[in-house]
Structure 1
Amino acid sequence: MRETNTPLLVIGAGPYGLALSAQCRHDGIDHILLGRPMSLWHDHMPRGMFLRSRCDWHLDPFEVYTLDRYAQEHGLTGRDLDPIPLSRYLDYAAWFQDRREVVAHPRQVVRLDTRGPDATGFVAELDTGEVIVADQVVVATGLGSCAHVPPELAAVLPDGSYRHSQDVVDLAALAGRSCLIVGGRQSAFEWAALAAEEGAAEVHVCHRHATPGFAPADWTWVNPLLDRFVTERSWYRELSTADRAEITQRMWRIGRLQLEEWLAPRIDRDNVRLWPHTRVVSGQRTGDGRVRVTLDSGDALTVDTVVLATGYRMDVARLPFLAAGGLLRELATDDGFPVLDENFRSSVAGLYFTSRFAVRDFGHFFDFTAAARVSARVISESVRAAGSGTA
């Protein structure tokens, strides 16, 4: 069994892992980045999708290899990146990785543990049979393990009749077929638009609340607050409960209670039907293998498949490499989130978390890629200090 030693192991090569690796490389921190770059984005987001991100939500902590510079080098105009096509963002991420010489190893951690009571650091077992021994570890994984299937839906829908939206990315397969999308946020409506554009015969969208309004999103206030984390690590956690709630509500109003205006004409189609203020109450297989779904309005829909655009619910216990080892017993958590200090360190010495696992202590900024380069700067500085014995 091959064993490799490293001062730092970064698990996850999405936006947060790539930004952190670039920062660590600049800071002279020897590290290993594991994961297939942007795998969640490649494998679980549909072709033709657009991002809600702004062009200033780039990956470079040093403000050099930005989306604007990428656009300039590729002869793109502002209209080409407003909104940002998924394909362009993936190309940007690869371009950034090349420019910053970020090396990601496409391997998967299957088990992560501490080295034991008589030694510091961690042992990571990989799917290749290799072992990496690391002094410190950053978990920068994506959302894939935390897809949320509401139990009340799983209880009434037949097995095999539904899939989470992250597993429905080939929307061309719905051409000539019918589907029910359960959900009322951006992803539900974008999946609906793409399915309709790919030739789905019928696309139904049901959600418990009123259909959100379509309006341009104003995110200009986000970056100034994010930048404070670099010099004022604890500013968010030191806010009053009311002030933190106001920020959360502001994020919620833009991110959840409104839809991007460019979606409006795309779902205004004869083959798209919205069912606001409704819930699924039952589902049965029909004789021809379709699904008859009854809503609490009394309406019944017969469709070929059900797509659950029901989001993600973060829970560190659902990370397979943590569940396989003993770290969860040592890790302080709150409602599935790791409890983090102002440097993103967990209660387990040397173990850091970022991306959506940082929402509890750093706010819902970390639901978005905007925060990737900020956490990269903070974590790299903390890792370097810990390595020199000054943390």
Structure 2
Amino acid sequence: MSMPADLLIIGAGPFGLSLAAHARMLGLETVVFGQPMGFWKEHMPRGMILRSACDWHLDADNRLTIEAFLQARGQTPDDVEPLSRDLYLDYAEWFRHQAGIEPLFGTVRSLERRTDGFAAVLDDGAELTARNVAVAVGFSNFPQVPPELADMIPAGRRSHTCDMVDFAALKGKRCLIVGGRQSAFEWAALLADEGAAQVHVSHRHDSPAFAPSDWSWVNPLVDAMADDPGWFRSLSGTEQDALARRLWIEGRSKVEPWLEPRVMRPNVALWPRTALASCRETGDGLAVTLDDGRTLLVDHVILATGYKVEIGRVPFLAGLLGDLAVRDGFPVLDDHFQTSIPGLFITSMPATRDFGPFFAFTISVRTSACLIGQALAAEK
């Protein structure tokens, strides 16, 4: 393009799409780069059910809501909750079309600073230029594989949940899932649905309760941050820890009750308060010994070990890392998600250190869009 755009958004998942729609409403020339909902399509399994409800929609301007999408289909929230991954993808596609967002596809090889902003260099050598860039890549670069498990389990015998989303190859197989949160239990249910012969679930803590989570207190906190973006960072360490603990209780010590009949089956075994002690190849699979002395014979291990932000793992940021302020692996952000590099914004999971744990969830996309939009509109 001959003149730089106002904003280049790298990432077309929930945070990127929400920001793109809001930026367009503000009259900003916006370019979006990435496959729409690519992580959701490629790294979340069919049949997955979400923990969010219809109020976790994408539109910061409250027009293109999930309720509006359902109304266009002749449905109500009662017809579709709990939401499935596939329905949410349908909503995101509807949202994208209604908002007039047409992302460009390909891979960003590098991001470079220029006198008038930034240039994203693509894998084919082409360049996209913009005065501002928002990085909204979500979870894709941050799967966590604990080193002790990587050393213990042969590479060909283990997968992280983000890479194990097609369960057909595990039909009739014996599987061990390491982890005790919602994803571990949902993957156990999906494996059992697919016909796995045996599914073991090992986790260090007590097994979470099959109980509905109460998210009602989260929405007001996140929505209010659009007017008070420094609220979370102004809390004391003790207050932040208490908030994280409250979120942990709802999101980690509970799993959704609709999973219970799908998990509590004869071929699914839960091993709470255990960890892997050793693993060795045998003629009949992997012999995995837990620290309680029990040995499980399995064919494959799935690591439901979550995600950990290390912003240096985002490949296209490599050339900017020398100027990017980073703390504990997270980019240091101002009240509008702007980094130490003027004009470079980073949102979604990498924002959780400065904005709170909510920003790992789609409930935060609207607040993120509003705050970045405020900074861009003020500049223009």
TM, length-normalised to structure 2? 0.97
Residue 190 of structure 1 aligns with an amino acid whose one-letter code is E
User: Residue 102 in 1 paired to residue 101 in 2?
Assistant: yes
Counterpart in 1 of 2:153? 157
Counterpart contact for 2:278–2:288, Cα < 8 Å? yes
Q: 2:133 aligns with which of 131, 137, 152?
A: 137
Q: 1:257 aligns with which of 253, 263, 282?
A: 253
* Aligned partner of residue 226 in structure 2, secondary structure: helix
Counterpart in 2 of 1:218? 214
Q: What is the CA–CA distance in structure 1 between the aligned matches of 2:195 and 2:145, rounded to whole Å?
A: 27
User: Residue 192 in 1 paired to residue 188 in 2?
Assistant: yes
Q: More deviation in 354-363 or 106-115?
A: 106-115
Residue 380 of structure 1 aligns with an amino acid whose one-letter code is G
Q: 2:235 aligns with which of 233, 239, 251?
A: 239
Counterpart in 1 of 2:303? 308
* Aligned partner of residue 134 in structure 1, secondary structure: strand
Q: What is the CA–CA distance in structure 1 between the aligned matches of 2:313 and 2:135, rounded to whole Å?
A: 13
Counterpart in 2 of 1:292? 287
Counterpart in 2 of 1:365? 358
Residue 70 of structure 2 aligns with an amino acid whose one-letter code is A
Length, aligned pairs only: 380
Counterpart contact for 1:4–1:132, Cα < 8 Å? no
Superposition deviation, residue 271 in structure 1: 0.9
Residue 55 of structure 1 aligns with an amino acid whose one-letter code is C
Superposition deviation, residue 4 in structure 1: 7.0
User: Residue 271 in 1 paired to residue 267 in 2?
Assistant: yes
Moved over 4 A (4+): none
Q: What is the CA–CA distance in structure 2 between the aligned matches of 1:104 and 1:349, rounded to whole Å?
A: 24
User: Residue 352 in 1 paired to residue 345 in 2?
Assistant: yes
Counterpart contact for 2:54–2:77, Cα < 8 Å? no
Q: What is the CA–CA distance in structure 2 between the aligned matches of 1:159 and 1:88, rounded to whole Å?
A: 34
Counterpart in 2 of 1:377? 370
Q: 1:167 aligns with which of 163, 168, 186?
A: 163
Q: What is the CA–CA distance in structure 1 between the aligned matches of 2:229 and 2:176, rounded to whole Å?
A: 44
Superposition deviation, residue 161 in structure 1: 1.2
The superposition leaves residues 10-68 of structure 1 with CA deviations (integer Å, 9 ceiling, x where unpaired) of 10000000000000111110021000000000000011000111210000111111111
Q: What is the CA–CA distance in structure 2 between the aligned matches of 1:236 and 1:283, rounded to whole Å?
A: 42
The superposition leaves residues 300-330 of structure 1 with CA deviations (integer Å, 9 ceiling, x where unpaired) of 111111100100001101101112x2x1111
Q: What is the CA–CA distance in structure 1 between the aligned matches of 2:3 and 2:271, rounded to whole Å?
A: 55
Q: What is the CA–CA distance in structure 2 between the aligned matches of 1:366 and 1:82, rounded to whole Å?
A: 22
Q: What is the CA–CA distance in structure 2 between the aligned matches of 1:197 and 1:85, rounded to whole Å?
A: 16
Q: What is the CA–CA distance in structure 2 between the aligned matches of 1:7 and 1:365, rounded to whole Å?
A: 28
Residue 355 of structure 1 aligns with an amino acid whose one-letter code is S
The superposition leaves residues 326-366 of structure 1 with CA deviations (integer Å, 9 ceiling, x where unpaired) of x1111111111101011111111111111111101110110
Superposition deviation, residue 173 in structure 1: 2.2
Counterpart contact for 2:337–2:351, Cα < 8 Å? yes
Q: What is the CA–CA distance in structure 2 between the aligned matches of 1:201 and 1:251, rounded to whole Å?
A: 34
1:193-208 maps to which residues of 2 (within 5 A)?
A: 193-208=189-204
Counterpart in 1 of 2:7? 8
Residue 293 of structure 1 aligns with an amino acid whose one-letter code is V
* Aligned partner of residue 141 in structure 1, secondary structure: coil
Counterpart contact for 1:181–1:205, Cα < 8 Å? yes
* Aligned partner of residue 231 in structure 1, secondary structure: coil
Counterpart in 2 of 1:65? 64
Counterpart in 2 of 1:281? 277
Superposition deviation, residue 120 in structure 1: 4.3
Counterpart in 1 of 2:24? 25
Counterpart contact for 1:4–1:131, Cα < 8 Å? no
Counterpart contact for 1:179–1:204, Cα < 8 Å? yes
Counterpart in 2 of 1:87? 86
Counterpart contact for 2:67–2:76, Cα < 8 Å? no
* Aligned partner of residue 336 in structure 2, secondary structure: coil
User: Residue 321 in 1 paired to residue 316 in 2?
Assistant: yes
Counterpart in 2 of 1:125? 121
Counterpart contact for 1:214–1:260, Cα < 8 Å? yes
Q: What is the CA–CA distance in structure 2 between the aligned matches of 1:32 and 1:243, rounded to whole Å?
A: 39
Can you give the 5+ residue segments of structure 1 that lack an aligned partner in the other structure? none
1:173-188 maps to which residues of 2 (within 5 A)?
A: 173-188=169-184
Residue 185 of structure 2 aligns with an amino acid whose one-letter code is F
* Aligned partner of residue 50 in structure 1, secondary structure: coil
Counterpart contact for 2:332–2:339, Cα < 8 Å? yes
Q: What is the CA–CA distance in structure 1 between the aligned matches of 2:201 and 2:135, rounded to whole Å?
A: 35
Residue 106 of structure 1 aligns with an amino acid whose one-letter code is F
